[in-house]
């Protein structure tokens, strides 16, 4: 992943991960592979894991531990009301930024 791409992703990844949870609850690996399918090919599982922990600390997701056949229980993340509100705001902010940047790109006309 290019350096610029990494930097830009850093600011938007919370929204991206929340968006990936808006359809249905999921655990870390499911979210990572979904993001890879969506074209974020180089995203590391640990990055998503760290981010999910941050979302959990900010109380934007609910967490349930589900036993798995091998290894430790999987943590399943569900978007809660605060998370949904945060996501709405993320999309509004994104819309604003995308609009302003497109405007700049066209030479400020």
Partner 1 sequence: MAWKWIELFTGSLDQKKRYRRYKARIDALPEPYGTAASAFQRYFMYYGGIVDGETSLSMLGDFADLWERAAADATPVRAIVGDDPVEFAEAFAQAYTGKRWIDKERERLIVAIDRAAGGQE
CB of 101 to partner 1, least distance (A): 25
- The C-alpha R_g of the chain, in whole angstroms, comes to 16
CB of 108 to partner 1, least distance (A): 32
CB of 27 to partner 1, least distance (A): 9
Both tokens assigned to 80 = 């809660």
Residue 62 or 100: which CB sits closer to partner 1? 62
Name the packing angle between helices 81-105 and 3-21 (round to 10°). 140
Residue 50 or 98: which CB sits closer to partner 1? 50
Residue 41 or 102: which CB sits closer to partner 1? 41
Residue 29 or 91: which CB sits closer to partner 1? 29
Q: Which of these, 15, 28, 18, lies nearest to 66 by C-alpha position?
A: 28
Helix ranges, the chain (H): 3-21, 28-37, 45-57, 81-105
CB of 53 to partner 1, least distance (A): 4
């Amino acid at each position: 992943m290019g350096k610029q791409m990494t930097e830009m992703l850093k600011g938007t990844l919370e929204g991206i991960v929340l968006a990936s949870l808006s359809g249905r609850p999921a655990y870390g690996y499911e979210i990572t592979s979904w993001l890879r399918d969506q074209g974020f090919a180089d995203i590391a599982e640990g990055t998503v894991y760290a981010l999910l922990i941050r979302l959990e600390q900010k109380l934007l997701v609910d967490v349930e531990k589900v036993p798995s056949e091998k290894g430790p229980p999987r943590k399943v993340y569900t978007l809660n009301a605060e998370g949904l509100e945060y996501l709405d705001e993320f999309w509004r902010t994104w819309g604003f930024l995308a609009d302003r940047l497109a405007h700049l790109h066209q030479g400020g006309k």
